């Protein structure tokens, strides 16, 4: 006896005997599922890419930036409170840190040959390279000795090097920066696209920078910096280091216990999780848009199942005459709908996977097909088959056998 | 086996009602071979459909094997159709996209499940063992009706209802169909009720019921 198999073979026969109709039903689902898979893979890929860029910086990087201070509930804009002296204090007083690199950013006029541009220049210490995980492509980063002497040397990000020296080797060349002449001693490896990328930066010793830019000072006479980057010796110690630096800086900045911090301190991990949350929301949005096409596909399934029921009224009558109960009839149509949408889901996954693979290979974007999305898309498509197939199937099962038999 | 008590069937016709059967009373015993005759519109098919549980009477009681099936739910009626009744229609009512064998298997589909061997045996029984793989469109009318008979008998029902089984066939094929049906009755004791216009065919039966305007007007035993 093949009783359990009968409903399946019946549904299968229904599918293959109406090839064009089955194909059209499946097509709607294929497009919906394919779109979901493709868009979600693009979103997930972007997320993974950005996270890996941040991870490139090292998971044990902690950055301090000047932050908004508030006074009596009024935001007072960005206060320039971080100083080189803060950086030195951190370096001397805080345990579990491997390196500290303060930096000061300034927009400077650059003149190379006949070209005249404006660019952001970062004055920093030699530790900056290791703290930020930068890699040299040619030449070298400036040394502690060059820093001490205030040597007029510069290291270029890969994009800057290409823009300023499109046809010649930058290392060894000279350029004017503000009021001083600097010599290029190194070019960095590209780190890939991300915001605030070192590819677009120029690094010189902070001591050299002070010769052309008057570094502002705080009321107490501290030399202001734009940020302080700290490498924690062990990523597990991130939080304790952040806590210690926070309390050290609060003391140094004479903040009362009730006052907010006048600086921001964040580890790469925190930045990564904030960003990935934002991108996750974006990916969800993309998926939701794609899900609309899946919904339209589902309505297509209902439409075609209704037509199918209408067209097969006589068949339903015959089956009822042969003893089919209502549940046999709706079961048959429901299985058929679920089968079509399941097949559509599988083909859609393959199509979406293929498209995202092609996008990846063409280098347009990084894509990542996640297994959870695949499972979700296929089960949602089967669910759509059951949901949208139910009404037509139920309609079919309610037909009066003699009326169904008489229909042409 | 079958008892109709004051069976009336009306259909709505716009605002009026059309009465097709008027208080029909009828008894058919197990193992009988009955012909129902009458002009078109006399209610023959309606009566047969009621007996076959394909339709419900407007009023009156219908007993099948001493059970009042006129009170059954649609699910219970489906079970009665599946277990007890084999239908043979004038227009065959085979599924066009299925093979002869698959059509016969369909007869068991809702009562115990398909069984290829039994289906093949039933086809052999009606002389179509060779044509099991053919679709209805590849078969002659007589062959299609034989497939339909095989479908009806494959589940061994105690009752076969045939609505003008030879109505669409030439006289030679018609005679073959009648021979098969009467032999089923003779060999297996199946109760067979059929509608016919053909007095020659009716003469094979034990009992002829004449209908006119929704009422039984006369009975004869040839």
| Per-chain mean pLDDT for chain B | 92
pLDDT tier for residue B147 given thresholds of 50, 70 and 90: very high
Say which CATH number the domain at B38 has: 3.40.50.300
Of the two residues A50 and A144, the one the predictor is more confident about is A144
Q: Which of B98, B111, B115 sits opposite A323 (nearest CB)?
A: B111
Q: Evaluate if residue A320 carries a pLDDT over 60.
A: yes
Q: What is the pLDDT of residue A77?
A: 53
Query: Which residue has tokens 């046809």?
Result: A167
- CA of B79, closest CA in chain A: separation in Å? 6
CB contact under 8 A, A322 and B81: yes
Q: What is the pLDDT of residue A1?
A: 44
Q: Is B12 on the interface with A (CB under 8 A)?
A: no
pLDDT digits (tens, 9 = 90+) for A344-376: 999 999 999 999 999 888 877 788 888 888 898
Q: Is B79 on the interface with A (CB under 8 A)?
A: yes
Task: Tell me the mean pLDDT in the region A188-203.
Answer: 76
DSSP B136: G
Helix H, strand E, coil C: the string for chain A is: CCCCCHHHHHHHHHHHCCHHHHHHHHHHHHHHHHHHHHHHHHHHHHHHHHHHHHHHCCCCEEEEEECEEEECCEEEEECCCCEHHHHHHHHHHCCCEEEEEEEEEEEEEEEECCEEEEEEEEEECCCHHHHCCCCEEEECCCCHHHHHHCCCEEEECHHHHHHHCCCCCCCCCEEEECCEEEEEEEEECCCCCCCCCHHHCEEEEHHHHCCCCCCCECCCCCEECCEEEEEECCHHHHHHHHHHHHHHHHHHCCCCCCCCCCEEEEEHHHHHHHHHHHHHHHHHHHHHHHHHHHHHHHHHHHHHHHHHHHHCHHHHHHHHHCCCCHHHHHHHHHHHHHHHHHHHHHHHHHHHHHHHHHHHHHCCCCCCCCHHHHHHHHHHHHHHHHHHHHHHHHHHHCCCHHHHHHCC
pLDDT tier for residue A16 given thresholds of 50, 70 and 90: confident
Q: What is the pLDDT of residue A362?
A: 87
Task: Tell me the mean pLDDT in the region A15-23.
Answer: 84
Q: Which pairing describes strands A61-66 and A263-267: parallel, antiparallel, or unpaired? A: antiparallel
Whether ipTM tops 0.90, in short, is yes
Q: Does some domain include residue B144?
A: yes
| Per-chain mean pLDDT for chain A | 85
**Nearest residue of A to residue B113 by CA position?**
A3
Kindly tell me the burial class for residue B39, based on how many C-beta atoms sit within 10 Å of its own C-beta (0-12, 13-18, 19 or more): exposed
- Percentage of chain B with pLDDT > 70? 100
Instruction: Please list every residue in chain B whose beta carbon sits closer than 8 Å to the beta carbon of residue A324.
Output: 78, 82, 109-110
Preferred mutation among A322, A396, A400 to probe B, highest tally of B CBs within 10 A: A322
pLDDT digits (tens, 9 = 90+) for A201-213: 899 999 888 888 8
Task: Tell me the mean pLDDT in the region B60-75.
Answer: 92
Q: Does some domain include residue B206?
A: yes
Instruction: Please list every residue in chain A whose beta carbon sits closer than 8 Å to the beta carbon of residue B52.
Output: 321
Provide the residue range defining the domain that includes B96: 27-42+83-220
Task: Tell me the mean pLDDT in the region B23-42.
Answer: 93
Instruction: Please list every residue in chain B whose beta carbon sits closer than 8 Å to the beta carbon of residue A326.
Output: 74-75, 78
Of the two residues A3 and A255, the one the predictor is more confident about is A255
Instruction: Please list every residue in chain B whose beta carbon sits closer than 8 Å to the beta carbon of residue A318.
Output: 93-95, 106
Instruction: Please list every residue in chain B whose beta carbon sits closer than 8 Å to the beta carbon of residue A325.
Output: 74-75, 78-79, 110
CB contact under 8 A, B151 and A401: no
Q: Does some domain include residue B132?
A: yes
- CA of A316, closest CA in chain B: separation in Å? 10
CB contact under 8 A, A323 and B81: yes
3-state secondary structure of B11: strand
Q: Does some domain include residue B5?
A: no
CA distances from A240 to A85, A89, A97, A130, B222 (A): 21, 17, 11, 21, 110
**A265 DSSP β-pair partners:** A64
Window 100-159 of B: residues touching A by CB (8 A cutoff) are 102, 106-107, 109-115, 151
Sequence-distant (6+) residues with CB within 8 A of A362 are none
CB contact under 8 A, A1 and B115: yes
Domain count, chain B: 1
pLDDT tier for residue A74 given thresholds of 50, 70 and 90: low
pLDDT digits (tens, 9 = 90+) for B85-105: 999 999 999 998 889 999 999
The Cα–Cα gap between A207 and A230 comes to 19
The Cα–Cα gap between A1 and A23 comes to 32
């Amino acid at each position: 006896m093949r009783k359990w198999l009968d409903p399946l073979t019946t549904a299968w026969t229904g599918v293959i005997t109406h090839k064009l109709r089955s194909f059209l039903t499946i097509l709607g689902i294929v497009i919906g599922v394919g779109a979901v898979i493709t868009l979600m893979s693009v979103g997930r890929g972007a997320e993974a890419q950005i996270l890996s860029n941040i991870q490139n910086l090292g998971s044990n990087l902690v950055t301090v930036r000047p932050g908004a201070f508030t006074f009596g509930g009024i935001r007072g804009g960005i206060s320039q409170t971080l100083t080189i002296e803060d950086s030195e204090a951190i370096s001397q007083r805080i345990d579990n840190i491997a390196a500290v690199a303060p930096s000061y950013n300034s927009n400077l006029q650059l003149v190379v040959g006949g070209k005249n541009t404006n660019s952001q220049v970062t004055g920093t210490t030699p530790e900056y390279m290791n703290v930020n995980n930068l890699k040299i492509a040619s030449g070298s980063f400036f040394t502690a000795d060059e820093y001490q002497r205030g040597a007029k040397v510069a290291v270029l990000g890969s994009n800057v090097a290409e823009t300023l020296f499109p046809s010649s080797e930058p290392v060894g060349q000279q350029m004017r920066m503000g009021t001083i002449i600097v010599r290029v001693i190194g070019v960095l490896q590209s780190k890939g696209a991300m915001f605030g990328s070192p590819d677009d930066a120029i690094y010189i010793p902070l001591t050299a920078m002070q010769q052309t830019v008057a570094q502002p000072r705080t009321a107490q006479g501290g030399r202001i910096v734009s940020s302080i980057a700290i490498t924690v010796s062990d990523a597990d110690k991130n939080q304790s280091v952040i806590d210690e630096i926070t309390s050290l800086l609060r003391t140094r900045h004479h903040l009362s216990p009730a006052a907010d911090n006048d600086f921001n301190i964040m580890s790469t991990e925190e930045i990564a999780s904030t960003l990935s949350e934002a991108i996750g929301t974006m990916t969800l949005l993309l998926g939701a848009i794609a899900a609309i096409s899946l919904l339209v596909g589902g309505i297509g399934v209902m439409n075609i199942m209704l037509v199918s029921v209408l067209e097969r009224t006589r068949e339903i009558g015959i089956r009822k005459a042969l003893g089919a109960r209502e549940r046999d009839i709706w079961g048959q149509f429901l299985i058929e709908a679920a089968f079509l949408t399941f097949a559509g889901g599988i083909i859609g996954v393959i199509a979406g996977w293929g498209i995202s693979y092609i996008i990846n290979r063409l280098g347009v974007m990084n894509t990542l097909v996640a297994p959870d999305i695949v499972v979700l898309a296929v089960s949602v498509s089967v669910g759509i088959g059951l949901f949208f197939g139910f009404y037509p199937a139920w309609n079919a099962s309610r037909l009066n056998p003699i009326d169904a038999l008489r229909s042409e | 086996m079958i008892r109709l008590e004051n069976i009336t069937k009306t259909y709505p016709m716009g605002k009026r009602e059309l009465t097709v059967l008027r208080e029909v009373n009828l008894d058919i015993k197990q193992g009988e071979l009955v012909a129902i005759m009458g002009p078109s519109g006399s209610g023959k098919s309606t009566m047969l459909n009621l007996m076959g549980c394909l339709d419900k009477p407007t009023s009156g009681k219908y007993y099948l094997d001493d059970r009042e099936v006129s009170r059954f739910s649609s699910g219970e009626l489906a079970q009665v159709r599946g277990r007890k009744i084999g239908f043979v229609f004038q227009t065959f009512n085979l599924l066009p996209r299925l093979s002869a064998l698959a059509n016969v298997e369909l007869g068991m589909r809702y009562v115990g499940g398909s069984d290829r061997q039994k289906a093949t045996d039933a086809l052999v029984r009606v002389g179509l063992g060779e044509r099991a793989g053919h679709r209805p469109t590849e078969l002659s009318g007589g062959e299609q009706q034989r497939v339909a008979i095989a479908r009806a008998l494959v589940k061994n029902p105690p009752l076969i209802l045939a609505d003008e089984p030879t109505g669409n066939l030439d006289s030679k094929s018609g005679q073959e169909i009648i021979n098969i049906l009467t032999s089923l009755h003779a060999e297996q004791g199946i109760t067979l009720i059929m509608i016919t216009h053909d007095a020659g065919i009716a003469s094979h039966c034990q009992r002829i019921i004449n209908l006119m305007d929704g009422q039984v007007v006369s009975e004869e035993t040839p």
